[in-house]
Amino acid sequence: MMKPRRPARSLGQAFAWPLVLAISTVAGLLLGLTGDGLPDFAAWVLLASAPAALVVAWGRRQDNKK
């Protein structure tokens, strides 16, 4: 049995989340290098967003396979 195809996405839709993750990663790296105290905490949060997004996406993919 074949699954129905998803509708095609535009270029903006396809690259929206990767762009957000790239910007947050660069911002986290800059904050981590230039700040101390609260900026370090913000850097950790921003840098943790990319692995967190991967875990969420992987979990959704596993749920869809069931």
The model's pTM: 0.77
Is residue 21 predicted with pLDDT exceeding 70?
Answer: yes
Instruction: Give the pLDDT of residue 22.
Output: 96
Residue 46 inside a domain? The answer is: yes
Domain that holds residue 43: 15-56
Angle, CA 35 vertex, CA 32 and CA 38 arms, to 5°: 95
Residues 6+ apart with CB under 8 A from 30: none
Q: What is the mean pLDDT of residues 21-48?
A: 95
Domain count, the chain: 1
Residue 4 inside a domain? The answer is: no
